[in-house]
């Protein structure tokens, strides 16, 4: 278990690594392409060691990874998590857009992967909404409740606005569409 230094700034680290970044890591090709092209600022994420969460990035790490319940993460789940990491702040994606971009699965399988996301909040699953731009679910809760309110709060902090019924106002305006050809299958 890594040591926790209180009161000191954490060194910048690559997700899944315990070593400070000294030089650019070699690119790793995944279902989404190169992980070094992710629009994720590590300074924007909570320190990984704070929750003891490590996000595996290599094929070997992913093969060995088990959830707290001892379950393996499927290739489809890894693909959903990798795709979700690419969604920029202030943008949303619909469940169906993810399975369409990946070329596999269904909106329900994407929802299931996100409901069982062992890497939250590092995988920004709050940025995925229903096809009709309804807030959808969050942490296994659908439509209303304190968990869904947390999702609304996270999105509102990023500039996404909702109406009183939980629908994204001007949904298309916030919709993120990955660049053509940026999604690659393993």
Catalytic residue numbers? 125
* 23 Cα distance to chain centroid: 25
Return the SS3 of 13: strand
3-state SS, residue 142: strand
Sequence-separated (6 or more) residues with CB below 8 Å from residue 52: 1
Cα–Cα distances in angstroms (integers) from residue 161 to residues 124, 170, 172, in the given order: 17, 8, 12
C-alpha distances in Å from residue 116, one per residue of 3, 19, 36, 105, 176? 28, 28, 25, 15, 23
């Amino acid at each position: 278990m890594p040591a926790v230094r209180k009161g000191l700034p954490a060194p910048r680290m690559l997700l899944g690594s315990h070593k400070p970044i000294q030089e650019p890591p070699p690119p790793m090709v995944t279902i989404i392409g190169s992980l070094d092209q992710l629009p994720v600022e590590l300074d924007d994420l909570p320190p990984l060691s704070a929750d003891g969460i490590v996000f595996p990035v290599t094929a070997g790490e992913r093969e060995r990874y088990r959830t707290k319940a001892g379950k393996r993460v499927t290739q489809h789940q890894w693909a959903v998590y990798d795709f979700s990491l690419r969604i920029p702040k202030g943008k949303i994606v619909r469940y169906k857009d993810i399975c369409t971009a990946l070329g596999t699965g269904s909106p329900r399988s994407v929802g299931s992967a996100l409901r069982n996301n062992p890497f939250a909040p590092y995988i920004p699953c709050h940025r995925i909404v229903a096809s009709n731009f309804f807030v959808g679910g969050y942490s296994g809760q659908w439509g209303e409740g304190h968990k869904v309110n947390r999702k609304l709060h996270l999105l509102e902090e990023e500039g996404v606005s909702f109406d009183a019924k939980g629908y994204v106002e001007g949904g298309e305006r916030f919709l993120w569409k990955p660049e053509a050809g940026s999604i690659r299958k393993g």
